[in-house]
């Protein structure tokens, strides 16, 4: 059903205006922001599908690629260990009910997966899943004429199949990312100046400010005499080493802001916050520079799935 086919008073934007946000579902609210669905699917259904794939709580952490495709199965493992996952997806996500009692086979050239119902009453029901290596697509066709297009990618020597989230192109992806970025900034603005008492405070603050976690970002927090964050600044992005992180760049804005002290922070995209020897080298260089400038380096916090504090581990 198209949005224009829904009575006007029941459309998400009109209900938001009349009753407020509390009256709308998660998908309705996201639909108001994205506004437009895709051919054959309205924006509310698309948002419902996106949220059901990933969970609302995970949307803010998705990469551009993840917003637009979802891991499906390993081609080489069907038939095999991914058969159950494959059939459940067809049944639960594509609503092909007859596959709950079906058999799977693969053609001799390994380019086609065939699914057939075992039930005598449904013996005409079948589906074929064909690889098109030129277009890097996998096309699922059912006996009743339905078609579903997937993406395949060779990774670690195996062909991984991804289900494309229909309607989720780059524009909608950036709209959602901008939404979560705005929410993070709103939450920080509401708190006003952010007090830092422990490395955990730094961890919670920086999680709201990191541009992304797919590459390393080196950030400097400027603190006043009461250890309140006056400002934060990303001074470098990419692989960090002592030749890139120069004290001049780190302390330049701290001097301009008349900061009493600084805390340096960077993330490890791997999720492991354990410091490297290069991290220790950078910390010592900046600690010594801070002494000369009378702007104390209070801590160096590395962000991963948890955090590592040089101060709390008595390395500062």
Structural domain boundaries in the chain? 3-61, 69-164, 193-309
| Residue where the block lists tokens 């948002």 | 47
Sheet of 158-164: strand order equals 69-74, 158-164, 147-155, 137-142, 126-132, 112-117, 102-106
The crossing angle, in degrees rounded to 10, of helices 12-19 and 26-34 is 110
Q: The pTM is what? A: 0.50
Walk across the sheet containing 228-237 and list its strands: 194-195, 228-237, 217-223, 261-267, 296-303, 307-309
pLDDT, tens digit only, all 316 positions of the chain: 677 778 888 889 999 999 888 889 999 999 999 988 877 778 888 888 788 877 888 888 787 877 877 777 889 999 999 998 888 888 877 888 888 888 999 999 999 999 999 887 777 889 999 998 887 788 899 988 888 888 888 888 888 888 777 778 888 989 998 998 888 777 766 665 678 889 999 998 888 788 777 788 999 999 999 999 888 898 888 776 665 688 888 999 899 989 999 999 999 988 899 999 999 999 999 999 999 999 999 999 999 989 999 999 999 8
Phi and psi for 231 in degrees, rounded to 5? Answer: -165, 155
pLDDT at 240: 66
**Burial label, 220 (beta-carbon count in 10 A; 0-12, 13-18, 19+):** buried
Residue indicated by tokens 């948890």: 306
pLDDT of residue 191: 60
Q: What sign for the dihedral angle of Cα 195, 199, 205, 210?
A: positive
pLDDT of residue 281: 92
Sign of CA dihedral 258, 312, 203, 270: positive
Nearest-5° angle of CA 41, CA 33, CA 36?
Answer: 30
Q: What is the structure's pLDDT at 265?
A: 95
CATH of domain 193-309: 3.40.140.10
């Amino acid at each position: 059903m198209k949005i224009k086919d829904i009575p006007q008073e029941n459309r998400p934007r009109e209900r938001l205006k009349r009753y407020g946000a509390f009256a709308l579902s998660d998908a309705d609210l996201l639909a108001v922001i994205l506004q437009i669905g895709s051919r054959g699917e309205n924006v509310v259904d698309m948002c419902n599908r996106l949220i059901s794939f990933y969970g609302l709580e995970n949307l803010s952490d998705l990469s551009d690629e993840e917003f637009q495709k979802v891991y499906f199965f390993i081609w080489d493992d069907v038939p095999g260990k991914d058969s159950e996952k494959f059939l459940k997806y067809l049944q639960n996500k594509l609503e092909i009910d007859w596959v709950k009692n079906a058999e799977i086979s693969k053609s001799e050239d390994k380019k086609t997966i065939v699914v057939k119902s075992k039930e005598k009453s449904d013996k005409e029901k079948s589906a074929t899943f064909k690889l098109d290596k030129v277009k890097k697509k996998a096309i699922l066709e059912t006996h009743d004429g339905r078609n579903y297009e997937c993406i395949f990618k060779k990774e670690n020597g195996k062909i991984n199949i991804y289900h494309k989230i229909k309607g989720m192109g780059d524009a909608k992806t950036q709209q959602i990312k901008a939404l979560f970025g705005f929410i993070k900034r709103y939450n920080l603005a509401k708190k006003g100046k952010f007090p830092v008492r422990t490395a955990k405070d730094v961890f919670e603050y920086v999680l709201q400010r990191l541009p992304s976690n797919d590459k390393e970002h080196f950030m400097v927090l400027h603190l006043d005499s009461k250890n309140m964050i006056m400002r934060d600044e990303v001074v470098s992005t990419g692989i960090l080493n002592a030749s890139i992180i120069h004290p001049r760049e780190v302390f330049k804005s701290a001097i301009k802001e008349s900061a009493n002290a600084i805390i340096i922070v960077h993330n490890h995209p791997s999720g492991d916050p354990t410091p490297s020897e290069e991290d220790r080298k950078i910390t010592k260089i900046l600690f010594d520079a801070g002494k000369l400038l009378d702007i104390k380096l209070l801590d160096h916090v590395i962000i991963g799935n948890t955090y590592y504090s040089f101060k709390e581990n008595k390395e500062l």
